[in-house]
Amino acid sequence: MGAVNGRAAASRGSQPVPVAAERHALRTMIIDMVAPVAVYYAARALGRTVWVALIAGGIVPAIGRVCTVIWGSAILADAVVRVVMAYTLPIGLVPALGGALWPVTFTALQFVTNVYFARSGFWRILRTGAAAPGSR
């Protein structure tokens, strides 16, 4: 059975896979699974040629990258808050607050995401299919 990170492969004499290459492969795999579904529904709503042009122009992928950073940072912050809660609060209080933390995190993320989409012009792009003048 092969190693995920290449360390065991190196002990057998073959070349290890660089960690950056593994991350790229994982990211590519996730995009390959999610992108067709997203593109299908977006193309259905906007028209295939408009959506393909927006993706090729780099506008939609750039917005998606920023949105991914927003969500990833917030989920990481949520995890840090949960660890701090587990170490500092009484044991009987942590499960209740942990259950309440996710709706708060999710609501804040939805708000921040929608504000970003409005400022980046993503909602306009979805409604009209046209990018803002001066954008990529």
On whether the pTM is more than 0.75, the answer is no
Cα dihedral sign, 120-125-131-136: positive
User: What is the full per-residue pLDDT of the chain (136 aa) written as tens digits?
Assistant: 444 544 444 455 566 656 666 666 666 666 666 666 666 666 666 666 666 666 677 777 888 889 999 999 999 999 999 999 999 999 989 988 988 999 999 999 999 999 998 898 888 877 776 665 555 4
